[in-house]
Amino acid sequence: MRTVRVDTGKPYDICIERGILDKCGEYAKALSKAEKVTIISDSNVAPLYMDRVKNSLEKEGFKVATHIFKAGEEQKHLGSIAEMYNTLAKFSMTRKDIVVALGGGVVGDMAGFAAASYLRGIDFIQIPTSLLSQVDSSVGGKTGVDLPQGKNLVGAFHQPIAVLIDPDTLKTLTDDYICDGMGEVIKYGCIKDEKLFENLENQNALEHIEDIIEICVSIKRDVVNRDEKEAGERKLLNFGHTLGHAIEKIYNFKGISHGMAVAIGMVLITKAGEKHGITEKGTADKICALCKKYGLPTTDKSTFEQMAQAAKGDKKTAGSSIDLVLLTKIGDSFTKKVELANLCDFITT
Ligand SMILES: NC(=O)c1ccc[n+]([C@@H]2O[C@H](COP(=O)([O-])OP(=O)(O)OC[C@H]3O[C@@H](n4cnc5c(N)ncnc54)[C@H](O)[C@@H]3O)[C@@H](O)[C@H]2O)c1
Ligand SMILES: O=C(O)C(=O)C[C@@H](O)[C@H](O)[C@H](O)COP(=O)(O)O
Ligand SMILES: [Zn+2]
């Protein structure tokens, strides 16, 4: 078993172990005085893993309810949260009870937000089952939903009490979503870890996925420990996301997945960085080649005008400027303020 400790205001462990799904009851018992647990999952993950998680919790004496919603980013909205509140209230969940998020990033972000807001905040455990959620979204406490106006525009910082990662669940994930998760893995190499980037180039990451998961969550842990609420350094985790989220919005959150959009966003913003003499020449080509190696797209038909317009509502906008995340070279990232009026020119290559 590998353990990564997160030292936020409320510290917790990220535990990585094959088969940990069947021990989640023991973890919950050790961490909480809850009597009731509501497991929130989606329509793809629940048939695969709900029974194992429920049995493990019941074995430890918890009363368990389940809430299953239709899988997909299109469901990541406030209407789905209202349905979760309904389940939590009907089951008379109290402040000492807990939510378990069993699924990918959509489940984790929404179940986390329901837990952050129900009764003004109850505890929750993340059991991430997609690659993207195991390397990124289950850690750090960002929870929330999309609005038609933009990605993740409503939410709360609410740290889980534990993150239980079972890499065996990746055996049932489709190849497309394995590729998708690699978008965030490549991001970690780009912003903080040149060695990780080179390993991804020279080896097949999927052959040593537990190492990759541990490296990514450790990088994220270090950043979140220093800047839990994204006052500064945490913005670097948004590399590729300003344009990626803009593209997701242009598509109305359908037909393009998060990791794919981030891959395109990383390539485009790095090309812009090179155009402005900020980023070492050849960096965008390296990112492009790596994204292609892991089956990710690197271009989109959206115009720079459309992307700039959609990006203006990003949470990194303050007043008349936006903080863009750029690279000087692979492994070295920083933020740069750009006037919204100049955003389209800045990103156009
Ligand atoms: N909170 C954060 O810090 C953070 C970080 C990165 C991304 N995100 C968010 O995460 C979401 C993307 O996460 P995602 O890619 O996991 O999406 P997702 O939750 O939609 O999962 C992708 C697909 O895989 C299925 N699935 C998940 N695990 C499976 C398994 N083990 N076997 C079979 N199918 C499985 C899901 O049902 C879904 O169809 C986006 O909404 C993004 O904004 C949040
Ligand atoms: O945890 C963070 O901080 C991140 O930025 C991780 C991102 O991969 C993730 O997609 C996050 O949800 C984006 O944050 P947002 O604040 O731009 O919604
Ligand atoms: Zn992301």
Q: What is the ipTM of this complex?
A: 0.99
Residues 126 and 207 in one domain: no
Q: Is 5 helix (H, G, I), strand (E, B) or coil?
A: strand
Which mutation among 14, 137, 147, 248 tests ligand 1's pocket best, with the greatest number of atoms within 8 A of CB? 137
Determine the Cα–Cα distance for residues 95 and 114; give it in Å rounded to an integer: 13
Q: Which long-range contacts (CB under 8 A, 24 or more apart) does 336-340 make?
A: 336/278, 340/312
* Judgement on whether residues 120 and 245 belong to the same structural domain of the protein: no
Give the per-residue pLDDT at 342: 98
CB atoms within 10 A of CB 279: 22
Q: Is 130 annotated as a binding residue?
A: yes
Q: Cβ(105) to ligand 1 under 6 A? A: yes
CB 116 within 8 A of CB 143: yes
Instruction: Give every CB contact of residue 88 below 8 A, 6+ residues apart in sequence.
Output: 38, 67, 99, 114, 118
Instruction: Convert the pLDDT of each residue in 65-74 to its tens digit.
Output: 999 999 999 9
What is the domain-level CATH number for residue 63?
A: 3.40.50.1970
Distance (Å, rounded) from C-alpha 199 to C-alpha 184? 15
Q: Is 170 annotated as a binding residue?
A: yes
What pLDDT does residue 285 have?
98
pLDDT of residue 270: 98
- Among residues 155, 172, 189, which one ends one of the domains? 172
Ligand 1 pocket residue status of 132, Cβ below 6 Å: yes
Describe the crossing of helices 241-250 and 258-275 by its angle, rounded to 10 degrees. Answer: 130
Residues 16 and 151 in one domain: yes
Mutate to test the pocket of ligand 1, among 21, 258, 296, 314 (most ligand atoms within 8 A of CB): 258
Last residue of one domain, picked from the residues 120, 152, 172: 172
SS3 call for 159: coil
Is residue 129 within 6 Å of ligand 1 at its C-beta? yes
Query: Of the residues 156, 172, 188, which one is the last residue of a structural domain?
Result: 172
Strand order in the sheet with 321-329: 317-318, 321-329, 332-339
d(CA 155, CA 284) in angstroms, rounded, equals: 32
How many independent structural domains does the chain possess?
Answer: 2
**Domain co-membership, 167 together with 277:** no
pLDDT value at residue 123: 98
In whole angstroms, how far apart are CA 51 and each of 59, 69, 87, 99, 132? 12, 16, 18, 16, 23
- At residue 233's C-alpha, the angle toward residues 230 and 236, to 5°, is 95
Domain span holding position 327: 175-347
Q: Which residues of the chain have pLDDT under 70?
A: none
Q: Are residues 138 and 228 in the same domain?
A: no
For residue 89, what pLDDT is reported? Answer: 98
